[in-house]
Structure 1
Amino acid sequence: MATRRLICGLAWVMLSILLVTLSANAKRTVPESVGAYIDQWHQDRHLLHVEDDSGSKENKGKENEHDSKGKTENDAGPLVVKKLEKDNLGLTHGFVASISVIVVSELGDKTFFIAAIMAMTHSRMTVLMGALAALYFMTILSAMVGYATTVIPRALTFYISSALFAVFGLKMLREGWYMSDDEGQEEYEEVQADLKRREDEIEKQNLPTQDVETGIIRSPGRRFVSGILSTVFLQALTLTFLAEWGDRSQIATIILGARENVLGVIVGSCVGHTICTGLAVIGGRFIAQRISVRTVTLIGGVVFILFALSALWIGPGT
């Protein structure tokens, strides 16, 4: 009986120890597993937040990059448009300035009368082509000479050219003021006499010479050149080139090439020369007799003065 009680007591003790041990292990394991689970949950939540933040930052960075790129492109767009508008404005201004200066300078000028008189006795097309060849070459040369001065500071060339325009304008106004009403007729007759003298000299030089021994007629070397190019063409080209050299229209083209768009100056000057020379060749003596050189000179002086005064409100950087 006592033994049975002892065995039952030991069994209860062992059972109690086992239960205590299990309960202790259960208390230690369950909180640890729950805590680990909670910690893992918090870590996962943190990782999700980090990924969300990095993703949002990346997306925001891409959006900012896209916005900045779009903003840069949007900012660059108006700049390109403004530059194109400025270039087009410079081209137009150079064209208008050059064509107006050439027209008021060449109408009634010596080159005008040369083309008009030669067109009366020679082929109009040949005279026109020869005169325009000289004028176009002189225009390109003068404009490039003016453009070469762009190595000098823009402000300096701008104000120097404006001062030269003022000087030429005052000079033209003075010439027009003291000019007689029949100045055009006098200029016409002077050019006609000069051309007559030159044609006589050319005819004498082109007369064939006969070899005394062989009897073969030999022509001078000039006839070889005239065989390639018409004598009338060469005469119109040479006379126009010499008359244009140092003329006020050439100097005006140089000045415009220094301060305006050089392409606009070349195109405008060529168009102006074509208009004036075309009128001279087609109209001939009629236009020469009807035109008032005095009036054209006075108008030209006013135009030159206006271009000089434009420097007061149009800066060199405009």
Structure 2
Amino acid sequence: MSHSVVQGFTKSLAMTVLSEIGDKTFFAAAILAMRYPRKLVLVGCLSALLVMTILSVLLGWAAPNLIPRQLTHHITTLLFFGFGLWSLWDAFKEGEAEEFAEVEAELDANFKTNGSAKQNGKGGDDLKKQSRPFLTQLFSPILLKAFSITFFGEWGDKSQLATIGLAADENPFGVVLGGILGHALCTTAAVLGGKSLAKQISEKLIALSGGVLFIVFGIQSFLSTVE
């Protein structure tokens, strides 16, 4: 791989891991894996993150072709500094288990709503199978649930916006590879480790590390010249 691909890969990998560990989608994957078959949850979450990463990189790659290269470079630099300060603020503001408890409460409410809707008599199950949407006949509802929760939870998230900015400044192919590997590592750990792993994670330390990394990227971007 060329130097630019390696640089994009390493930056994307480090940024994704430090952004996603302890993130809402990380905890959502851990909680879903405690209630549903792990294989389906893993496939659903990873599929969503794969699609999200590719879309984000495509947006970042297209940006310099629509906006002057120098402007996208300055925007990316500001994004890195902004996300760095945001992460540092989160590290000092939030408690250790707040995010996990918040995601667990949201999913619990969703499960209860779905559970109450299922109690429609014995003959209702066959009728539901016949009226089930075509997409859910091809794919497991659990897989689709994991996909949708992860995809919409990640949309507009800090890590997605940072991936767009990184792809605008680095080699898109390297950013895609690093992002996919980073998401695969974090999601696999969340699904296999479950609640015990989530409880052992120091959210404050991860947020501090992510904040420092974003600021380092910002400084490097600020000092680099636009080609």
> How does the TM-score come out when normalised to structure 2?
0.91
Deviation string for 1:23-54 (max 9, x for gaps)? xxxxxxxxxxxxxxxxxxxxxxxxxxxxxxxx
Q: 2:69 aligns with which of 154, 160, 176?
A: 154
Partner of 1:219: 128
CA distance in 2, matches of 1:241, 1:102: 15
CA distance in 2, matches of 1:223, 1:143: 31
Q: Does 2:98 match 1:186? A: yes
Q: 2:27 aligns with which of 113, 118, 135?
A: 113
Partner of 2:115: 203
Gaps in structure 1 of 5+ consecutive residues: 1-86
Gaps in structure 2 of 5+ consecutive residues: none
Q: Is the 8 A contact 1:115 1:236 kept in 2?
A: yes
Deviation string for 1:161-183 (max 9, x for gaps)? 01111111111112212223x2x
CA distance in 1, matches of 2:138, 2:125: 22
CA distance in 1, matches of 2:85, 2:72: 20
CA distance in 1, matches of 2:157, 2:125: 46
Could you say what the CA RMSD is over the residues aligned between the two structures, in angstroms? 2.1
CA 1:197–1:179: 2 relative to 1, 3 Å: closer
What residue identity is the alignment partner of 1:275? Answer: L
Q: 1:133 aligns with which of 34, 47, 61?
A: 47
Q: 1:275 aligns with which of 169, 176, 185?
A: 185
Partner of 1:284: 194
Q: CA deviation at 1:201?
A: 2.3
Find runs of 4+ consecutive structure 1 residues off by over 6 angstroms.
none
The sequence identity of aligned pairs, in percent, is 40
Q: Paired residues, what number? A: 225
Deviation string for 1:71-98 (max 9, x for gaps)? xxxxxxxxxxxxxxxx711101110111
Q: Is the 8 A contact 2:77 2:222 kept in 1?
A: no
Q: 1:172 aligns with which of 57, 76, 87?
A: 87
What residue identity is the alignment partner of 2:20? Answer: E
Partner of 2:219: 309
Q: Which has the higher contact order (CA 8 A, sep 6+)?
A: 2
Partner of 2:36: 122
What residue identity is the alignment partner of 2:105? Answer: A
CA 1:142–1:197: 2 relative to 1, 3 Å: same
CA distance in 1, matches of 2:119, 2:148: 21
Partner of 1:256: 166
Q: 1:143 aligns with which of 50, 54, 57?
A: 57
> How does the TM-score come out when normalised to structure 1?
0.66
> Secondary structure at the residue paired with 1:305?
helix
Q: Does 2:206 match 1:296? A: yes
